[in-house]
Amino acid sequence: MEWMIQYLAKNAQNEHYTFDERKQILRYGFKKLLTNLFILMILFTISFFMDTLKVMFILIITFVVLRMKFGGWHSESKGVCITLTIIVPIVYVFIIKAYDLPLIFTFITYLFAYLSAFLKGVVDNPKKELSSDKKSRFKLQGIIILTFIGAIHIFVLSNHLTNISEGMTLSIFTSFINLYFNQTKTQC
């Protein structure tokens, strides 16, 4: 991996960063990529054996897309972050397999999500605070994405894909509930 970082840092044309800074950025990016691939591998392996691969895929995609726009809570340690990232979706899959969530929960979740989007807005990472212009732009983009997810959700519900619908609902709930937890210093 080090040879790849050296090669990319040498060939990346950017006057804003020194060669060593580019290497640090690339090293960080590769580390994040490998960590995320490890987490995804665990989640998809478990969901494969539970016969819930589609639900897990929907859970992850919905959460990540909303999290990218609205931000949210970051744990103090990477271990806690990785553990929660693995455990929460698995718990959700168990809930989806064991219970039928009432449709009213979906409507309440969307109401909560839109109210949170408008009232709370974007929660940035304390280490990388956003300008008010970027927050406004992310908020608008996030609301558009939430509306698009809602349209897909209506399609999913109309086709009686209950497990996928419940996965979307729980992901949306998690995406917006985490906006209300206290922020910490370390990014997950």
Examine the pLDDT at 184 and tell me if it is beyond 60: no
pLDDT in tens, 81-139: 788 888 989 999 999 988 889 999 999 999 999 999 999 888 877 777 888 898 899 99
Which residues, in sequence order, are CB contacts of 145 under 8 Å at separation 6+? 65, 66, 69
Question: What is the secondary structure of 13-46 as a DSSP string?
Answer: --TTS-HHHHHHHHHHHHHHHHHHHHHHHHHHHH
CA atoms within 13 A on the CB side of 174: 21
Dihedral class, residue 161 (left if φ above 0, else alpha if ψ from -120 to 50, else beta): beta
CB 156 within 8 A of CB 164: yes
